[in-house]
Amino acid sequence: MKAIVQDHYGSINDLRFAEVPRPKPADDAVLIKVRAASLHPDVWHVVTGRPAVLRLMGAGVARPKHQVPGTDVAGVVAAVGRAVLRFQPGDEVLAETVRGVQWRNGGAFAEFATAPEDGVALKPTSVTFEEAAAVPTAGLIALNNLPLRRVPRGSRVLVNGAAGGVGAFAVQLAKVYGAEVTAVDHPRKLDLVRSLGADRTLDYTRDDFTRGGEQWDLIFDVPGNHSFREIRRALNPHGGYVLIGHDAFGAAGHSWLGSIPRMLGLMARSAVTPALRGGSLAPPDKPRLLSTLTQLMDTGQLRVVLDRTFPLAQTPAALRYLTSGRAVGRVVIVVD
């Protein structure tokens, strides 16, 4: 089959479009004929091998253990492993191809990919393969970190980085829960977040939400560009803070450890700071989360805005476009 191949960590420009053997599904996995695969910042991290710690977390120490990048696909089930119960050949599905939460190549940028049954869900017929492929990783991060219990009806939620992959889902989930949502992002992207239901928008190039004197019940923060001391000013006394973390394609964050030291610091501090509690350290229950996401997609409560699609052979150009920050909406690879 045709696939994008990564021989070593480094530059996007070194990715090759090549012929490789078709993968075989494990007993608990499905083989998917890929119709679309999406890009997100973690794909860039594994291609470049930055932060370096990801190489010790399963991606491969000296070179990538799995050569085909990408983790999110939508397509048609071509075969199933012996232990698979919920899917059969011909099913239209979306899937996260890596097990649990792993920072490694997942084989998505190819004509065929395998995914563990736990990471697969039936694609609603009302959405396209391109839209469906944009959901798994970003949708799982958003829903896992923004469960209903955190957002009582009528609460005030601020989403920082609201137009990105994760933020766009967080905005829509908060609206589904009945929150009043303030969305913060670049001015080019504020129409997008309004179209997703945000009640108010703030332009991060002009407005610093931590300095306006306003307070929110929950701050869902993707870029993490403020210290917790600054964030606290914008939290009401019982408010909560969720940091997702984004190192701006290597421009922020530690080159060896990325955002991990900051995450660990906040986790330790949560013992004495209730605002930081509520996150789950347990692995995400993917079947349950994916089922919620696909139901919300089917009812039109969760939408994907696409910016551009690229053919499989042009995946390096698509990754360069993603890292340019120019995309307004998701960047998706289409596989013939």
Ligand X SMILES: NC(=O)c1ccc[n+]([C@@H]2O[C@H](COP(=O)([O-])OP(=O)(O)OC[C@H]3O[C@@H](n4cnc5c(N)ncnc54)[C@H](OP(=O)(O)O)[C@@H]3O)[C@@H](O)[C@H]2O)c1
Please report, as ranges, the residues that interact with ligand X according to CB under 6 A. Answer: 40-42, 138, 141, 145, 160-161, 163-167, 184-186, 189, 204, 222-223, 225, 244-246, 325
Residue closer to ligand X by CB (options 31, 322) is: 322
Residue closer to ligand X by CB (options 89, 325) is: 325
Minimum distance of ligand X from residue 146's CB (angstroms) = 11
Q: For residues 74 and 36, is the Cβ–Cβ distance under 8 A?
A: yes
Q: What residue number has its CB nearest to ligand X?
A: 164
Gap between the Cα atoms of 306 and 248, Å rounded: 20
Conformational region of residue 197, where left means phi above 0, alpha means psi within -120 to 50, and beta covers everything else = left
Residue closer to ligand X by CB (options 23, 189) is: 189
Residue closer to ligand X by CB (options 261, 325) is: 325
Nearest to 200 by CA among 184, 214, 187, 213: 184
Q: For residues 197 and 221, is the Cβ–Cβ distance under 8 A?
A: no
Gap between the Cα atoms of 178 and 52, Å rounded: 40
Minimum distance of ligand X from residue 18's CB (angstroms) = 27
The CA-based angle 133-67-135, given to 5 degrees, is: 15
Query: What tokens were used for 263?
Result: 């995450």
Residue closer to ligand X by CB (options 128, 225) is: 225
Minimum distance of ligand X from residue 91's CB (angstroms) = 27
Query: What tokens were used for 25?
Result: 């599904």
Minimum distance of ligand X from residue 225's CB (angstroms) = 4
Minimum distance of ligand X from residue 183's CB (angstroms) = 9
Minimum distance of ligand X from residue 95's CB (angstroms) = 16
Alpha helices in 177-313 (DSSP H): 190-195, 228-233, 260-269, 286-298
